[in-house]
Amino acid sequence: MRIKLLVSITLGFLLVSCKNDNQSAKEQIPTDSITSTTPKFANKGHELVYNMVQKVGNFNALLDKKNVVYTYTYQTPDNKTDSVTEKYIFEGELSYGAYKKHERTLANLDGLVEQGYDGNEYWLKHKGKIIKDQDLLKTVIFNRPTNFYWFTMMQKLLDNGLFYEYLDEKTIDGIKYDVVKVTFESKDDKPKDTYQLYINKETHLVDQFLFTVVDFGKMEPFLMKLEYENIEGLLLPTKRKYKKSNWDAKVTNEPWTLVNWSDIKFNTDLTKADFKK
């Protein structure tokens, strides 16, 4: 699934030539992230991404966990912070967020702010009261699928409509990486976001990646660095930081924006009723 990538973790959050040995052409992958059988690989880049996803835990592994509750903390370089209790049911991508601290998201509202998506409807509450303001609801319509996407990003790198290119091998700080470019199918001929994954050749994990935010005019990339934690058998990038970069992964001197996930609990007693307004 392709969602608008990253204002809550860039702006709101404020998400080459192909050297593919004998396979230089980009091809669309006719595979779904929920299938358990090994797909036919379009090229080396696709195979590397597939192997990475098997290492961290594929979408079936997430579905087996049923749901998750965790704390999402986001801090900008100017020390504005969001602290959110996030809840998801993976089947149907139901999503809820309780913003106990929201200095960058809906900062004009004081006190508890709740957002939800019940599978059919997006909703917003402020201090327990339903808010119907359409401009405020646009924030919810963006935040809910975006936050869900970031939590499931590695698994979703095998979704339909993605293209893969193996770019090169690169050594950074003594670590060898396979560099894979991932782009998204465009049905309206509009530019789509680009990811450039740095897959550690030893661990098979994405240690860092470049990304754009085309929907908000950010064509130059940001660099995201990741640290993983094993939670109930899944490798999750629970610590993240990002800043502006170039396509050689050379970052600016700006401070990092910090994003952390903590208190992660899977397979809780959540039901679909918990996501209704």
pLDDT tens digits along 240-266: 999 999 999 999 999 999 999 999 999
Q: What are phi and psi of 37, to 5 degrees?
A: -80, 150
Q: How far apart are CA 157 and CA 58, in angstroms?
A: 10
**Other CB atoms within 10 Å distance of the CB of residue 232:** 14
pTM, rounded to two decimals: 0.84
204: helix, coil or strand? Answer: coil
CB proximity list for 189: less than 8 A, separation 6 or greater: none
CA angle 92, 114, 272 (to 5 degrees): 30
Please determine, for residue 146, whether its predicted confidence score (pLDDT) is greater than 60: yes
Split at pLDDT 50, 70, 90, the class of 215 is: low
Q: What is the mean pLDDT of residues 34-39?
A: 59
185-199 tens-digit pLDDT: 877 777 788 999 999
Give, in order, the Cα–Cα distances in Å from 230 to each of 87, 226, 234: 19, 13, 5
Give 125's pLDDT tier (boundaries 50, 70, 90). very high
